[in-house]
Amino acid sequence: MTRATARVTPPSGRTASTVRAGTAGPRTTPRTGFRTPPRPELRLLPGITTAGRGAPRLLRHPRAPFVLLIVAMLVGTTLGLLVLNTAIAVDSLKATQLRTANAERAQEVQRLEQKVVDGNTPEEIARAADAAGMIPAGSAGFLVLDPDGGSVLRGTPEPAAVPDSPDTPATPQAPATSQAPAAPEAPATSRAGD
């Protein structure tokens, strides 16, 4: 039998003819097409003890350990992600600080390189030498060594001239007895091809 062809018996006191005739009182419950099955009767089995009233309700259910495990895993995962996120943030902050320090060091190196380039010009070297009290040297002489062990003096060396300006201190002259006798100068010889 299908639901459409099943005959539903009306509640007590009413028959199908009274329902059709409309003599019955107003209907208080909505009409449904099927009846709900009756609930089964529950009873305790002998020999099985139940948990006392003092035991928590959560532990009476067999799924409680599983639920506790899932909750513990969720809490552990959340804490792990929090620690990982904190560690990444600390490393990011440290990397930013290192990048900033590296950029500052690069600017300092560039500034020092520019200072070296500016200080290597001949004018700057001459100005620094004057500030240090140095005087320009005279003409230089060169001693050339021969492969056989001999030597040849090229050019005529001259001592630097003492400046006459009053702001430079005069160099003290050593007594004549403390100076060693001057060595005779080797004659300048010219070789072929020089």
Tokens of 57: 């309700």
Residue 115 has pLDDT above 70, yes or no: yes
Nearest Cα to 157, choosing from 178, 182, 193?
A: 182
Per-residue pLDDT averaged across 61-85, rounded? Answer: 93
Q: Please say whether the beta carbons of 136 and 130 come within 8 A.
A: no
Per-residue pLDDT of 27-65, as tens digits, reads: 666 666 677 788 888 887 777 665 555 555 545 567 889
Collapse the DSSP code of 144 into the 3-class scheme (helix H, G, I; strand E, B; otherwise coil) and give the result.
Answer: strand
- What are the phi and psi torsion angles at 125 (to 5°)? -65, -45
Q: Please say whether the beta carbons of 26 and 14 come within 8 A.
A: no
CB atoms within 10 A of CB 64: 13
Collapse the DSSP code of 85 into the 3-class scheme (helix H, G, I; strand E, B; otherwise coil) and give the result.
Answer: helix
Per-residue pLDDT of 127-156, as tens digits, reads: 888 899 888 887 888 889 988 988 988 888
Q: Taking the domains of the chain in order of start, what are their residue ranges?
A: 61-126
d(CA 142, CA 155): 6
